[in-house]
Chains A and B, each alone.
Chain A
Amino acid sequence: MLRASGLTKYFGGKRALGPVSFEIGRGETVGILGLNGVGKSTLLRIVATDLRPSAGGLEVAGIDAVREPHAVRRRIGFLPQIPPLYPEMTVAEFLRFAGRIRGMEEKALARRIPEVEELTHIGEVRGELVRNLSLGYRQRVGVAQAIVHEPELLVLDEPTQGLDPAQVVEMRALLRALKERHTVLLSSHNLSEISQTCDRLLVLDAGRVIAHGTEEELSARLLGARRIEIAVRGDGDGAADRLRAIEGVRAVTRADGDGVVVFTVEAKEDLRAEVCRALVLAGHDVVRLDESREKLETIFLELVQGRAGDVDHLPA
């Protein structure tokens, strides 16, 4: 759906982005993580064809977005950090304008606008002037304008910025709904939002992609191993030996709790099935089994602070 190769952007003599290369498949939801000023918004503006790259290539749905931005714009919906809203228009007028400017016919608009209003829950304010809307509604109207023309690729820059916790939850639900219909590329400071909504992450630092993959992959790469947490009822005698005997297990640690013992198993691969089978066959009562992941915050900090070493050399 989207292929960026060596995308670079200079503002004057200062490099703001790149070279950045990545691909996004159709139907994927990819989150961009990075500290302020690392080039997230610049990257999204280039993808949305608001800015032209200084160098590099960008393809959207097989179309060269640098040479033919006009053709690409029909396939993209963009919500910048500040939603682009005209304060003197009503919500309904604004959505009609947003659809028309994307080349939609009146019939298609008449069908689509109620759908979008329902999806983004803005039907009750459709007659309100945009200038009178709360921040939460403005953000939703911003999303509505981005999807009104049913774009294949949706680019969202900080969609929950400035929202209160209740509005963040609503926006997150909206993002999940959008995932089903669009390929989504979004940036956010809200790591739990990225964690809950994105299939894959791109971590940007100093204008470059320093890591990419699913949260689990990044976690495993940083740790160099996968961790499984398994809780066993009782004293867990003999369980540690059983676990160490499983092929592929590197280390087992034990922590006694109130009536349960929690073992942490480090392995190169996902051995949850083998671990569970071994303990059950040995007569232990397994009450919990999870893959222990580092929190996204930890992964993010490890990556941007360089504690993970040269992450570009990590296996993809």
Chain B
Amino acid sequence: MRATWTIFRRELAAYLASPLGWIVAATVLLIDGLLFYAQALGPAAGERLSAEVLSRFFWTTSGLVAIAAVALSVRLLVEERQLDTLVLLNTSPVRDREIVLGKFLSAFAFLGGITLLTLYMPLLVMVNGKISAGQIAIGYLGLFLIGGAVLAVGVFASSLTRHPLLAAAIGAALTGALFLFWPLSFVLDPPLSRVIAGLSIHGRHFAGFQVGVLHLRDVFYYLAITFFFLLLATKVLEAKRWE
């Protein structure tokens, strides 16, 4: 775990020192703020209930968190290959899973920080409407879980190549596919539709978090997706030593 912590600290410092981290953070916060204004305060907001405003906020924020997760994660292993620094980790007494975990956790911490900076928006709703702190907490738990799952997808994409654009394309395509499973499930027949809906990263599994309802199956789903893609990334790193 010490190696994981060392890698985590270096990666987090790299995010704070790089323009990419700040650009992603500023973009997410700007767009999220504009969307919140439109949904809660703008002329189109109408007479929405505060719970509905909160639900829409989590819906839009989850999409932004997913996009930010792809943007933040693709550099993690790609950059090591581009700078030829992966060899330092590979020849140190560090296991591949510690490399992957340290990098994932750093991106998760940075993404978590960005996500928490949006907290003022639901707090505004809470002050001016009728929602509970529990609803907000569950919504944020959902954002962290979906963010973590998409980050894991991005880490896996990053492990496959040394080209950042290719890694971004793979990460975006995989994430997009997981998002599209939900609308796709409506045009398919059972039992395939149920399987596809069950795999979708957003619709079925995020709906409860949006409205403040916590289902353990949804938590388990996101943790499973996260574990699965981090495991794949670890296996890719191991396999590359055998190439």
- Chain A residues near B (Cβ < 8 Å): 11, 45, 48-52, 70-71, 73-74, 76, 78, 80, 82, 84-89, 97-98, 100-103, 145
Contacts and interface: CB of A to CB of B under 8 A. Distances in A.
A102 B87 contact: no
B88 A88 contact: no
A48 B6 CA distance: 21
Contact of B88 (A71, A87, A101): A101
B163 interface: no
Contact of A76 (B13, B91, B95): B91
Contact of A86 (B85, B92, B95): B85
23 contacts: A11-B243, A48-B87, A49-B91, A52-B241, A52-B242, A70-B93, A73-B91, A73-B94, A76-B91, A78-B91, A80-B84, A80-B87, A82-B84, A85-B85, A89-B13, A98-B88, A100-B2, A100-B6, A101-B7, A101-B92, A102-B93, A103-B2, A103-B93
A282 B149 CA distance: 91
B18 interface: yes
Specify the main secondary structure of chain A where it touches its partner: loop
Contacts of A48: 87, 91
B155 to A, nearest CB: 18
Contacts of A97: 6, 10
Given A51-B241, A88-B18, A97-B6, A102 B84 contact: no
Interface of B: 2-3, 6-7, 10, 13-14, 17-18, 83-95, 241-243
B10 A86 contact: yes
A185 to B, nearest CB: 13
Contacts of A45: 87
A49 to B, nearest CB: 6
Nearest to B14: A88
A102 B88 CA distance: 10
Contact of A84 (B10, B18, B84): B84
Nearest to B86: A84
A107 to B, nearest CB: 15
A88 B13 CA distance: 9
A11 B89 CA distance: 22
A78 B2 contact: no
A115 B3 CA distance: 23
Given A86-B10, A86-B14, A102 B92 contact: yes
A76 B87 CA distance: 13
Top 5 closest A-B pairs, CB basis? A84-B88, A84-B85, A73-B93, A100-B6, A82-B84
Contacts of A71: 93
B241 A50 contact: yes
A79 B64 CA distance: 41
Contacts of A49: 90-91
Contacts of B83: 84-87
A70 B95 contact: yes
Contact of B90 (A50, A74, A102, A145): A50
A85 B88 CA distance: 9
Contacts of A85: 83, 85
Contacts of A86: 10, 14, 83, 85
Contact of A101 (B3, B18, B242): B3
Contacts of B241: 50-52
Nearest to A72: B93
Nearest to B89: A101
A98 B6 CA distance: 10
Given A51-B241, A97-B10, A98-B92, 18 more contacts: A48-B87, A49-B90, A50-B91, A51-B243, A52-B241, A70-B93, A71-B93, A73-B93, A74-B93, A80-B87, A84-B88, A86-B83, A88-B14, A89-B13, A98-B88, A101-B3, A101-B88, A102-B92
A84 B89 CA distance: 9
